[in-house]
Amino acid sequence: MERGSFQLMKSVNKSLVLNKIRTSEPISRAQIAKETKLTPPTVSSIVKELLEDGLVRESELGESSGGRKPKMLHINSDAFYVIGVDAGPETVDCVLTDLTGKIVRRSSSYVLTKPLTNDKFLGILQEIIGAMIHSTDVVQEKIIGIGIAMHGVVEVKTGTSLVAPNLDLKHIPIKATLEGVFDLTVKVENDARAMALGESWFGGNSDVDSMVAVNFGSGVGAGVVIHGNLYHGAQDIAGEFGHMTIDLHGEKCECGNPGCLQTFVSGEALAERFNKQVNQNKVVNGEEIYKMAKTGDVSAVQFLQETGEIIGIGLTNLIHLVNPSRIVLGGGVMKSQEFILPEVYKMIEQRALTTEAKKTEVIVSRLGDDATLLGAVSLLLVELFEH
């Protein structure tokens, strides 16, 4: 065996053990060996390294199965930290988390105003990240990197924002610029795909082989996670669920095409449709529509139910295309879930092709407004925990 391939195998095994501790802590060395199929001496050797690296800690003794009580292993959550940024399209938010995704510091939202230039946008990111680094007690050597969840189309390999339609910006060199300023690893990902990864890591969805997370906010985007890995597609546009055409003669979308799903069910589209269809005397937003529905306003209830039908049609198309084990819904629009979800379920039940597909699990995110930020954080954790 070549030395290089041995080193690689050792590195893969190290990630395997580390990730097993992350997902199953507290866990003993013997249990790790049993579940990973690695030999006990290999596990012991790797755990020794991880303890020396400070990534893992031991706790009180576990339950004995007859012999000496085993020591239990945990992730040492404060060994390292990650900065996560949710960049646009309306605000920039930033958090610092430990290795378990626990938020230890949060910046106040920075509201983006147009017109913007690439340089101005990059300057805003630098300012917010710099303030986060300088305002925390965490030493910079413990920060392993910066994850950016970016609105629009992202070229992941170079960390470049190719198109940020809501900000009217193109070709923003986010990774190159920020790595030059902060001397830290920077990972950039489309915001909806980052959210999907965050749901997979922190939202209690690591138990399924395939899941899709869909964000219904100022835009509509999705991320596909298969066996813990994000699917990007050939040109990095996998997950542009909001730009699925559902009405050839519909309203023009910001992408330039008519009748995209996004023109029906984004937060802004909901308000526009409701004001046009129902409430012509008074302009209301999505939050107010929900409040009206809660007080029993029949027009608001019916409108949200109709919205659930439209979302249900979109999700049925998604089920037919990807056939995921689970679909997780997030974003501000899902705050009206009590009126929307029953109709979503009805449409899938009516339209999905098979009995099994009709039962596709559709749930609302447990992470709420932090899903995308934690997704940005998980971009770095994938590098650490998975080879």
- Determine the pLDDT at residue 227: 87
Q: Which amino acid is at 159?
A: G
Q: How far apart are CA 120 and CA 115, in angstroms?
A: 10
Domain at 81-197+372-385, CATH class: alpha beta
Domain edges within the chain: 3-75, 81-197+372-385, 207-365
pLDDT at residue 66, rounded to an integer: 60
Look at residue 212 in the predicted model and tell me its pLDDT: 96
Query: If you search the block for the tokens 């971009």, which residue do you land on?
Result: 379
Helices (H), ranges, 40-81:
40-53
Yes or no: domain 207-365 corresponds to CATH 3.30.420.40: yes
Token duo for residue 263? 């023109």
Q: Would you state the pLDDT for residue 203?
A: 87
Give the DSSP per-residue string, 10-56.
Answer: HHHHHHHHHHHHHHH-SEEHHHHHHHH---HHHHHHHHHHHHHHTSE
pLDDT recorded at residue 224: 96
Residues 6+ apart with CB under 8 A from 186: 145, 146, 147, 148, 159, 174, 175, 178, 179
Predicted pLDDT at 2: 39
157 Cβ contact list (under 8 Å, min separation 6): none
Q: What is the mean pLDDT of the chain?
A: 90
- Those residues of the chain that have pLDDT short of 50 are 1-9
Q: Which residues is 155 bridged to in the sheet?
A: 160
Residue 267: CB atoms within 10 Å: 21
- Give the per-residue pLDDT at 67: 63
Which 3 state secondary structure label does DSSP give 82? strand
Contact 190, 221 (CB under 8 A): yes
Q: What's the CATH code, domain 3-75? A: 1.10.10.10
pLDDT at residue number 13:
86
3-75 and 207-365 have identical folds: no
Angle between helices 286-294 and 267-277 (to 10 degrees): 60
